[in-house]
């Protein structure tokens, strides 16, 4: 009855969820979700949703809930550190779908038999995740490729699960105080916005192409090619990359490649993505980062990417530069400009002390001497202490930052990420306000002014209408306007003269550039000169503009108010 009143089908799925909760000792929570209770506390002695229990429940509920848990693991500004630690253990790895089903998906999507699309196709999946699995194959011309296929029926299942998630989220917020505090419904909304991007192979292929274009002139990074003729919304065919996973340090060294060089390539790649491209690979774990046998590094699996606009990139550049130069005022200014802290509601003195206490112990140290978990925990402590709510892309960026540092540490890097990032940050700030961007910003501001101007008549009419109806009372007080009048008149007169100068200059330029000549007169001066009436008018316009310009400058200088 509850499900019907909520407009949600899938009573069987709901029953499965309550059964899983009960199996993990969370029967009281299941009962609370089934009745319309608004108690804020659980009765003593009932099961509590510990981090481990939460992870196990999500794993047992399947792909949709595993993905939801992975999203939750990026929201350290919402969930306590112990929950984040446990949620990061969620493995996006499940048994592969039977090949016969994968074959059906490929043939339906490509609209032809498998043997006509591929010369060879390995029936055993090389990787299997909750929403897709990957097989190796060869195209008809012999090119080795990786074929990523969306699991059959997964889209429909996720849609149904999202409807159920909304229902559960509303019930959780209604039944538990902590649910309202965490904003569970908003978490589901965020999940809905992101999950379908991962299910769209066209979007992932587009991400690969963007990265390929961004790194086309960077020899040390290689982005695989997308074969669009074999790619659909549910099937992605891209170049297969032969190499070594980045965490296989001994194997990397055995192939004559220095792991520290690989780490530096990764750090430079991250800096470039962050401060030059504005699009970053948001899941750089070892399986998605391949060391090629010639020493290059290849990024694969672009299902999760983050995006930064130009303003955010500049703020991040100031942030990195501030940290690199121990300039905490610059750091705080960057955080303020990004809207992450509000000087009116936060104790800046205390915040600056906490930033310094957190950061100073890590300066100048190699990644190999730093515990990434310690850095992460301290950042989270500051975020939670000052109740900072970070946008998803910045939380994703923080997660990527931690993963990148972790890879550098695995490879034994002695580099400092801040030092690697510094030149990229400086370069971005140097070009941040070049002529093209200034003109772009001016154009945007002019469009804003135009939009406001178009709204002024309507707003003025509304104000006057409400005033006439007695809804508003206008009261104007003035003091000393009589003394101000001469100054205002002089200012207006100078503006008018300035407009005349501009008009004369423009008119003169247009006339002189005109191909039409009217009443051409000839003068026997210096061997003969021809002058048309149009040219004469143009010269007069320039002369008037010049004389008035000198007069205006002289009058302003004489007034002493230049």
Q: Which helix (H) or strand (E) holds 293?
A: none
Q: Tokens 């019930």 label which residue?
A: 171
Q: Residue 400: which of 384, 377, 376, 421 has the closest Cα?
A: 376
Give dist(CA 53, CA 61) in Å, integer: 12
Tokens (6 digits) for 239 = 């170049």
Dist CA 176 CA 169 (whole Å): 10
- In contact, 224 and 241? CB cutoff 8 Å: yes
d(CA 294, CA 296): 6
Backbone angles phi, psi at 90, to 5 degrees: -60, 120
- Consecutive H or E run containing 529: strand 529-531
The CB-based long-range contact list for 20-26 (8 Å cut-off, 24+ gap) reads 20/57, 20/60, 20/61, 21/57, 23/60, 24/53, 24/56, 24/57, 24/60, 25/53, 26/53, 26/57
Q: In sequence order, which residues have a C-beta less than 8 Å from that of residue 59 and are 6 or more positions away? A: 65, 66, 69, 90, 91
The DSSP line for 316-365 is: HHHHHHHHHTT-HHHHHHHHHHTTS--TTTS-HHHHHHHHHHHHGGGTT-
- CA dist 167 and 6 (Å) reads 7
Q: How many CB atoms lie within 10 A of CB 493?
A: 12
Question: Which of the residues are catalytic?
Answer: 283
Q: Measuring CA to CA, how many Å separate 311 from each of 321, 329, 355?
A: 15, 19, 23
Distance CA 231, CA 202 (A): 7
Q: Where are the beta strands (DSSP E) in 124-270?
A: 127-128, 132-139, 144-150, 221-222, 235-239, 243-245
The token pair that represents 209 in the structure block: 């192409």
| Residue of 121, 132, 56 lying closest to 89 (CA atoms) | 56
């Amino acid at each position: 009855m509850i499900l019907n009143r909520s407009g949600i089908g899938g009573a069987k799925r709901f029953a499965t969820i309550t059964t899983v909760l009960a199996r993990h000792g969370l029967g009281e929570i299941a009962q609370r979700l089934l009745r319309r209770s608004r108690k804020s506390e659980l009765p003593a002695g009932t099961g509590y949703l510990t981090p481990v229990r939460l992870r196990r429940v999500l794993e047992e509920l399947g792909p949709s809930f595993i993905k939801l848990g992975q999203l939750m693991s990026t929201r350290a500004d919402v969930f306590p550190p112990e929950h984040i630690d446990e949620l990061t253990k969620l493995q996006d790895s499940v048994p592969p779908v039977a090949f016969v089903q994968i074959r059906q998906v490929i043939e339906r999507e490509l609209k032809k038999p498998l043997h006509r699309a591929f010369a060879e196709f390995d029936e055993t999946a090389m990787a299997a995740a909750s929403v897709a699995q990957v097989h190796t194959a060869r195209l008809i011309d012999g090119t080795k490729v990786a074929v990523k296929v969306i699991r059959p029926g997964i889209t429909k299942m996720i849609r149904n699960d999202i409807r159920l998630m909304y229902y559960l989220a509303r019930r959780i917020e209604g039944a538990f105080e902590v649910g309202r505090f965490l904003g569970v419904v908003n978490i589901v909304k965020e999940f809905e916005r992101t999950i379908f991007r991962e299910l769209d192979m066209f979007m992932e292929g587009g991400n690969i192409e963007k990265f390929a274009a961004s790194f086309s002139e960077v020899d040390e990074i290689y982005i695989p090619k997308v074969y669009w003729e074999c790619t659909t919304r549910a099937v992605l065919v891209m170049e297969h990359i032969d190499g070594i996973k980045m965490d296989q340090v001994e194997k990397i060294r055995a192939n004559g490649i220095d792991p520290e060089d690989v780490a530096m390539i990764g750090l430079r790649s991250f800096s470039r993505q962050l401060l030059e491209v504005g699009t970053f690979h948001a899941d750089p774990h070892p399986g998605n980062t391949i060391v090629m046998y010639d020493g290059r590094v290849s990024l694969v699996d672009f299902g999760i990417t983050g995006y930064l606009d130009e303003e955010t990139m500049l703020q991040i550049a100031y942030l990195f530069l501030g940290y690199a130069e121990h300039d905490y005022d610059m750091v705080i200014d960057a955080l303020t400009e990004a809207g992450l802290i509000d000087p009116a509601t936060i104790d800046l003195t205390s915040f600056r002390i906490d930033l310094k206490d957190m950061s100073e112990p890590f300066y100048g140290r190699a990644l190999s001497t730093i515990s990434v978990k310690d850095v992460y925990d301290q950042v989270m402590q500051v975020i939670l202490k000052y109740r900072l709510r970070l946008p998803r892309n910045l939380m994703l960026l923080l997660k990527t930052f931690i993963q990148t540092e972790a890879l550098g540490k695995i490879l034994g890097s002695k580099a400092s990420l801040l030092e690697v990032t510094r030149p990229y940050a400086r370069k971005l700030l140097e070009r941040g306000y070049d002529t093209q961007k200034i003109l772009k910003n001016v154009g945007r501001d002019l469009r804003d002014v135009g939009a406001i101007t178009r709204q002024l008549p309507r707003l003025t009419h509304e104000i006057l209408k409400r005033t006439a109806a007695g809804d508003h009372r206008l009261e104007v007080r003035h003091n000393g306007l009589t003394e101000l009048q001469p100054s205002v008149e002089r200012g207006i007169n100078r503006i008018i003269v300035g407009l005349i100068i501009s008009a004369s200059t423009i008119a003169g330029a247009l006339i002189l550039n005109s191909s039409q000549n009217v009443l051409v007169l000839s003068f026997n001066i210096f061997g003969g000169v021809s002058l048309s009436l149009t040219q004469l008018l143009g010269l007069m316009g320039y002369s008037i503009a010049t004389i008035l310009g000198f007069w205006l400058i002289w009058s302003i200088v004489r007034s002493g108010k230049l």
